[in-house]
Structure 1
Amino acid sequence: MSTRAGVRAVYPGSFDPFTLGHLNVLSRARDLFDEVVVLVAVNGGKQPGVDEEQRAAAVRAVLPLEWSSVTVAAWRGLTAAYCHRHGAKVIVRGVRNTTDLQAECRLAAMNQSLGVPTVFLPARPDLVAVSSTAARTRGT
């Protein structure tokens, strides 16, 4: 009988703000992997309201205390570079629709070429319309 080390996954995003949809994807990722790092990243194409350290603190504040297998980190750089540096074996991404899936497939191909595969988790039907952009617009 062989034993293997726990699998660490990274769930990257700008999380501006962290929504119920993000929380649901994270909850399901916890069931699949031994550890999950919520990687609050800088996306040059987005203009967040606060910096990545503040967004990371906001994510930490909403995570249930009993989720001890989940950590939160702020990062400036490629997600694959973080994975290699911190021993993460897989990237987790949530997808709401075919538009998300097309964009995510392009990112997944790039990350795969850098040696890190991606797992897609589809949004729960009642959370498909939830987006950070909409939450910011509403001010919630």
Structure 2
Amino acid sequence: MRAVCPGSFDPFTSGHADVVRRAREIFDEVVVLVAVNSGKQPGAGEEERAAAVRAVLPVEWTSVTVVAWGGLTADYCRLHDVDVIVRGVRNTTDLQAEGRLAAMNQSLGVPTVFLPAQPELAAVSSTVVRARRSGGASR
């Protein structure tokens, strides 16, 4: 069974890596789909972000590929015979937002599986990582 883990990954965090690690334990193949999100203004293009993800994934994770994609995740899944979308959720706010996306993707024929964040990673977000890099967060 093939799964896709979509996200803007700006940047790819330890929380993202943990979701991919756990997804690869469940599914035969995992595609990390570096996507365009019209609601976000990433610091780099999707190809550059995809290269950054590839650079941090362990080389022994041969069942994991990284792809940049500018369309709908469900379209990618249908075009590439991907069975399921995997999303990590950190809290109830994430679950509500992801639930709406999952309903839309289900209506397009692609189910979603949620993986809850490990407790020690629940506070990790790309926003926090970016703020720390720029010196804007004290946390």
Q: 2:137: which partner in 1?
A: none
| Distance in 2, Cα, partners of 1:92 & 1:78 | 14
| Distance in 1, Cα, partners of 2:26 & 2:128 | 29
SS in 1 for 2:6: strand
Q: Among residues 110, 114, 117, which one is paired with 1:120 in the alignment?
A: 114
Q: Among residues 77, 84, 101, which one is paired with 2:71 in the alignment?
A: 77
Matching of residue 97 in structure 1 with residue 91 in structure 2: yes
- Structure 2, unaligned stretches of length 5 or more? 135-139
Query: Which letter maps to 2:112?
Result: T
| Distance in 1, Cα, partners of 2:35 & 2:65 | 14
RMSD over aligned Cα, in angstroms?
0.7
Q: Among residues 8, 28, 33, which one is paired with 2:27 in the alignment?
A: 33
Query: Which letter maps to 1:122?
Result: P
**Could you give the per-residue CA deviations for residues 116-137 of structure 1, whole angstroms, max 9, x where no partner exists?**
0000000000000000000011
Structure 1 residue runs of 4 or more that deviate by more than 6 Å after TM superposition: none
**Could you give the per-residue CA deviations for residues 34-61 of structure 1, whole angstroms, max 9, x where no partner exists?**
0000000000000000000000000000
| Distance in 2, Cα, partners of 1:8 & 1:128 | 26
Number of equivalences: 134
Among the aligned pairs, what percent are the same residue? 76
1:111 offset after TM fit, Å? 0.1
- Structure 1, unaligned stretches of length 5 or more? 1-6
Q: Among residues 74, 78, 82, which one is paired with 1:88 in the alignment?
A: 82
SS in 2 for 1:10: strand
Q: 1:4: which partner in 2?
A: none
Matching of residue 66 in structure 1 with residue 65 in structure 2: no
| Distance in 1, Cα, partners of 2:89 & 2:28 | 22
Q: So what's the TM-score if we normalise by structure 1?
A: 0.95
SS in 2 for 1:47: coil
Matching of residue 48 in structure 1 with residue 54 in structure 2: no
Query: Which letter maps to 1:35?
Result: E
Q: So what's the TM-score if we normalise by structure 2?
A: 0.95
SS in 2 for 1:17: coil
